[in-house]
Amino acid sequence: MARKPRRDAAQAITDLIIQKIEEGTPPWRRPWTKRGGCGAPLRANGVRYSGINALYLWAAADTLGFRSRYWMTYAQAQKLGGQVRRGETSQPSVYFNSLKKEEHDDVTGEDHIRTIRFMRCYSVFNCEQIDGLPVHFYPDAVDEEPLEPSAKREAIAAFFEPIPIEVRHGGDRAFYAPGADYVQLPHKTTFVTEDHYAATLGHELGHATGHPDRLDRTFGKRFGDKAYAFEELVAEITSGRICYELELPPELHDSHASYVDHWLQILKADKSAIITAAAKSEQAFAWLAAHSGYGEQTDDAEVAAQTPPTEKLAA
C-alpha cells in the first residue's frame, strides 16, 4: 500500500490566505463579532489560538461556513465524549520546536552543539464537525443587529489612551515617523466615523511597535525590496485584530491596491511569510493591549512557538 504523502502545512496555510486575499476578503478584515458564538478561534480548553493559527482558522471557518469558535484534535474530541463525523477534513495547526545536535568539526577537531529549529503541525477539527460534545462548544443563534458606529467609544478610549506612544493630529496623511517616534493622523473630525479613526490609529500604532525600544522589528534581506509592503501587512493584520477585539466594523482601513499586489507576490514566493507576519502582528497587538490589560486569555508560549527561527528571517 502506497504511503500517503505528508501534508505541507505551511503551503496549505499560505494557499488559503492567498485565496482569501484574491477574493477580496483577507481573514483579518472579516466582520467578526463575539455574539452568537462567533469570534476568535479557541482551543478545547477555551484558550485563544494566536499568530498564524488564529489567522488561518479564521479563514478556514469563513471558507467552510463554521460559526463555532472551538477547534480540537480527534483525541481531544473523544476525551470530551464527542466523535468526529466520518469523512470530515481536518485543518493544520502549527508550532515551531527545536532540538540540539552534537557535531564534530573535522578541521578543528572540536565538538559543538548545533540547535536545529523545525516546524510541526497537528490536525484539528471545528466542533461543528463533531457530534456529542457538551453544548457550549456549539454556536448559539446569530444576532443579526449591526453595531452602531459610535457604540464602542468607551472601549476605544480604554484601549488606546494608556498606550505610551505620542499621537499628533493635523494634515491630511496618516503615518508613523520612526525617527522622531510619533504617529501622525488627520484631525478626528475629518474621519467618516470614530470607528474609522480607531482603525487607522491601530494601524499606525502597529507600525510604532516595531521601534527598537519596543519590539525591534526587522526583516533583514528576506523580503528584499518588498520589506515595506511586508511591514504594511503586519500593521494591517494588527489593525484588524484591534477591530475584532473592540467589536468594530472591519472594513475601516482601505488596503491600497499596490500593497495587496505586493502581499500576494510575497506570499506566493515564500510559503512561511504569512506565518511570520501573523506572529509579528500578534506580538504587536500584545504590546499595545498590555497597557490597558485588554484582551482574552492567550497562551504566550504558543505565540513564541509560532515564530520562525531568527536565522531564517534574515536569510
Q: Is residue 2 part of a domain?
A: no
Q: What is the pLDDT of residue 257?
A: 59
Query: So what's the pLDDT on residue 302?
Result: 56
Query: What are the 10-residue block averages of pLDDT along the chain, 315 residues in total?
Result: 66 87 69 50 91 88 85 97 95 80 74 75 94 91 50 90 94 85 87 86 94 84 64 89 83 60 85 90 94 64 54 35
Question: Which domain covers residue 41, as residue numbers?
Answer: 9-313
Distances (CA, A) of 292 to 180, 223, 234, 241: 24, 33, 21, 15
How many domains is the chain built from?
1
pLDDT at 147: 40
Write down the pTM of the prediction: 0.66
| pLDDT at residue 95 in the model | 79
Considering the domain boundaries, does residue 4 fall inside one?
Answer: no
Give the tens place of pLDDT for each residue, 123-165.
999 999 999 999 999 987 655 444 445 578 899 999 999 999 9
Between CA 12 and CA 120, with CA 285 as vertex, the angle to 5 degrees is: 30
pLDDT for residue 32: 41
Task: Tell me if 282 is assigned to some domain.
Answer: yes
In a domain, 31, yes or no: yes
pLDDT of residue 260: 75
Asked whether residue 3 is domain-assigned, the answer is no
Burial track 33-53 (b if 16+ CB lie within 10 A, e otherwise)? beeebbbbbbbbeeebbbbbb
Sign of the Cα torsion 53, 54, 55, 57 reads positive
- Residues 131-161, buried b or exposed e (16+ Cβ, 10 A)? eebeeebebeeeeeeeeeeeebeebbeebbe
Within a domain: 204: yes
Task: Please check whether residue 156 lies inside any domain of the structure.
Answer: yes
What pLDDT shows up at residue 40?
Answer: 79
252 lies in some domain? yes
